[in-house]
Structure 1
Amino acid sequence: MSIGYVIKEGFAGLGRARLAALTSMFSLFIAVLLIGVLFRLGYNAYEVTQLLQQQVEVEVFLDDLNSTEVQLMEGRLTENPGVTGLSYISKDSAAQVFQQEFGTGGEAIAELDFLPASFRLVITEDYTVAQVDSLVQEINTYEGVDEVRFNMALLQMIESRTDTLFMFGGAIGIFILLVAMILVFNTIRLTIYAKRDLIKAMKLVGATNAFIRRPFLVEGILQGLIAGGLAAVVVYSLFYWGIPYFMPQIGVLSWPFGKWYYLVGGIILLAIFLGWWGSRWAAHKFIKDMGVSS
């Protein structure tokens, strides 16, 4: 009986303050929609930065080593936890690459046999610039290594831009979430105020504080469910049909974790959580202010 009352009152609460409820749901809809778009774009930006970092090569130039020494060097480099892969470029291969890059004019220079053998390293994706620099310094100390080169300036730029992007995006996301929670809070506050006499009467006949709060929590959850569902439909349609139609290149970008339903499910759950938390916040505060003991 109490469960039916709680659900019924939760739905009824949406109709008691319709304008406030619609405002709250619209704000929740906009909030989780923007969060979903930001997360999708942020995830794709993260993938792009990871791809750029992988394209920054660390090249280890070797002294004149025999085949056994080259194998030993390869094993030593492979054992390093920061190295996930490598490729060996012999002196002959280096000369061929030089000729391909500089054309016929480079053949005479390549024949001078001045190009050293080298290893091109693939570095662990989550390594920072400082860690890559430390790795380079360590490899420089290896016997048989003539020089180690990598584009530190490019790595620093990628890391700096990525950090700025995520900090800025995170700040916007937190602001949007706070605004949405405050609007839900105000909506539930108006509903509680409209029922203040009924709440006091219920306490007089023995209704518990938890029982009084439940309909307001249901109302907040319903607001979040409706807003989140609408936002999920818009985000899915926007990225699955809308944007790829006008900008086909966007269609090749992957969904977070490879599937669309992770983002869509996350949007709905986030909206429900915001609705629940905002209503819980308001119910605890204003029922207590009315003199209802907790």
Structure 2
Amino acid sequence: MSHSPDLSASPRSAAPRPKTYPQFVLFGDSITQGASHVFGASLTDWYMRRADVLNRGFSGYTAPAGYDNLLQFFTTAPPSSSVPRIQLMTVFFGANDACLPGCPQHVPIERYKQSLRDIVDYEGVKLHDTKIILIVPAPVDEWQIGDTERTAATTAKYAAACREVGQELDLPTLDLWTLFMLKAGWTEGSAGPLIGSKAAAKSQVLDELLSDGLHFTAAAYQLVFDELVKLIREKLPDHVPERLPSIFPDWRAKLGVDK
């Protein structure tokens, strides 16, 4: 049996105040931009009715260029009935910053680190009390990538730099470089060629996680989602969906139906 609300009991003059959903912003480069179908969809489903998951990925962007965009899309107005609070935000840059010197996207490693700090210290982030989750750039696979703009060794240095910023600022950090490399058989302190470089044997694991040596496959995005859920549960337990209020009531309460 269907139920319909008694609209006559809610005259326009008594309309409730507008409500906004808090936001979970995915901020980064093309790897974030391409995350909607698996990672973004899964995150949207997890936060259903509790937060809006917004994709703010910008293909080809570096951390300094991303910071410039942040100033334009992240409001400095305080959260209100018309301004949603940006409650959570992933920050995922480094894949382009790590291009070799001479490439237009190259960003010196110290400037890369400072740009990550600038993002975290942005006044809008402070005003909204946004919880930042830093994502460490994943390894690249030289066997697939087919150009000389990126190397496994250089990307490893930028991953370490991102990790250092996370430790310095005490941020929840999802270390994709280490996660992917461990799955590929790497061990910390191991001698020999770095997995992902052409000096090492071609890695079947990286081949399964990276579609072109840089961008992620569906399997990689699923792995990112699974690990992010673990990180939020461990480091930001007050922000798991089950701890957040549903923005609108259950339909039974809305229609006055007894449970």
When normalised by structure 2's length, the TM-score is 0.24
1 or 2 for the larger relative contact order (CA 8 Å, sep ≥6)?
1
**TM-score scaled by length of structure 1:** 0.22
